[in-house]
Amino acid sequence: MNQKIKTRFAPSPTGFLHVGGVRTALFAWLVAQQNNGEFILRIEDTDQAREVEGSAQHIQDCLDWLGINWDEGPFYQSQRLDIYKEYAQKLIDSGRAYADPYTPQQVQEFREQAIKEKKPFLYRNHRPDKTAAWDGKSPLRFRSDPKAYSWKDEIMGDLSTGAEVIDDFILIKSDGFPTYNFAHIVDDNEMKISHVIRGQEFLASMPNYLNLYEAFDLNRPYFATIPHIMNEQGNKKLSKRDGAKDILDYKKEGYLPEALVNFLATLGWNDGTEQEVFSISELKEKFSLDRVGRSGARFDERRLLWINGSHIRGLKLEDLYQKVEGYWPEEAKDHDKSYKKQVLGLVQERLKYFAELPELTRFFFTDLALNPELISTHKQLKKYESGQLKDLLQKAKASLETTDFSAEQIQEALNKLLQETGEKPAVLFSLIRIATTQAPASPELAGSLSVLGKETSLIRIGTQIERL
């Protein structure tokens, strides 16, 4: 292709951005990035009634955080009304647009008539023979030229439709703002967009768009239609109720932007292998529209957690330390960096997102209240008499006391203890873990004890023994 690759993200500022919108932006950005092309941001703010204050800024904050940077824009459609009027005039001049002469009541009557006759309602069946010049106060309608179309979609493949769906849609509303159907074609042309990459909800209107491209005698861009993201069950489109949340909530909860990008890119796309974890530069290299699936991908938040966890594990400890600042439990504030870094090193393996940090690490910084339920509901430990558990803990305490509390010596002592007592790790190690942490989960035992230190560990075991 000789044309420069140029893609766009064209959100309407009608609320917060969630995974669906951002994935569309990401795909468009990746296509531009990998072809040395350009990516632009266009805010489609032509429906004033639906506009939500702060939304345009929010969209930019989300893209910024994810590193989806735009080369041009943001353009605001509300500031381009003159351009739409110019294009509208061209259609008026060529006889392809007319002032809508009907009142809403009249249109309602047409609709009722169509229902009675069991026919679909189409404006073009009521097209007036003659219309007054358009004064900008009534809607301006397209004079369509219904015909069948075939076209290629970069994701959906070869598509075609009959003439029936093409209608005289509104180009400019009576408030002076253009409709999406009109404005996006004008802008995509003005902005020299090579690839229109957008969601499935626009597919049904493609015949109308193609008819308008023809009326303007424009070359079509490439089209790529991205299927919906489905809920976890795969039976309907993902909605806010199914967990489609504000992208910036992921930032607050401590997800890595590169992990979210990885997750979004692999929501409906794969590189033909089983690989699921990709760096941004790998995505730039490997992404392609023709490997985007034609049916909706399921949104599975556990997969996001897993991907985020694996990106966290891949970080250098010092980098991770910098990033989790602000997520430590309150009790950590008086502890020094080297202690916190050791703690972090232990939990890095299992940390899925940063907001989990307090729950996973609090016991390293403070004595948690004794929680008898940890034993009484434990699958193995609940079968033991308290005397037996006491006895085991006493043996553990005595043996740990003889070590220098390095992780290696602790591990050795624990292994010896397994042999001496004949107990399974699920029993012995769980018991020691509960006694020393009072937490439902914690990192690997020997390392945790070593970081907690001899004094604290032994005191905590002692307290548990007294309370059994």
By the rule CB under 6 A, 11 interacts with ligand GLU? yes
Choose between 224 and 374: whose C-beta lies nearer to ligand GLU: 224
User: Can you tell me the distance from the alpha carbon of 8 to that of 11, in angstroms, rounded to the nearest whole number?
Assistant: 10
Choose between 196 and 351: whose C-beta lies nearer to ligand GLU: 196
Bridging pattern class, strands 229-230 and 297-298: parallel
Shortest distance (Å) from residue 108 CB to ligand GLU: 28
- Is residue 240 annotated as part of the catalytic site, yes or no? yes
Among 5, 6, 10, 348, binds ligand GLU (CB under 6 A): 10
Binding mask 157-196 for ligand GLU (x = CB under 6 A): -----------------------x---x------------
Can you name the residues that pair with 170 across neighbouring β-strands? Answer: 141
Shortest distance (Å) from residue 305 CB to ligand GLU: 28
Choose between 175 and 201: whose C-beta lies nearer to ligand GLU: 201
By the rule CB under 6 A, 231 interacts with ligand GLU? no
Choose between 153 and 300: whose C-beta lies nearer to ligand GLU: 153
> Of 36-95, which residues contact ligand GLU (CB under 6 A)?
44
Choose between 32 and 374: whose C-beta lies nearer to ligand GLU: 32
Choose between 25 and 88: whose C-beta lies nearer to ligand GLU: 25
Stretch that binds ligand GLU, among 9-17, 107-115, 214-222, 249-257 (CB under 6 A): 9-17
Write down the catalytic residue from 119, 147, 192, 240: 240
Can you name the residues that pair with 297 across neighbouring β-strands? Answer: 229
Among 23, 198, 340, 433, binds ligand GLU (CB under 6 A): 198
By the rule CB under 6 A, 6 interacts with ligand GLU? no
Site residue total, ligand GLU (CB under 6 A): 7
Binding mask 382-421 for ligand GLU (x = CB under 6 A): ----------------------------------------
Q: Which spans of this chain sit near ligand GLU (rule: CB under 6 A)?
A: 10-12, 44, 180, 184, 198
Catalytic residues: 240
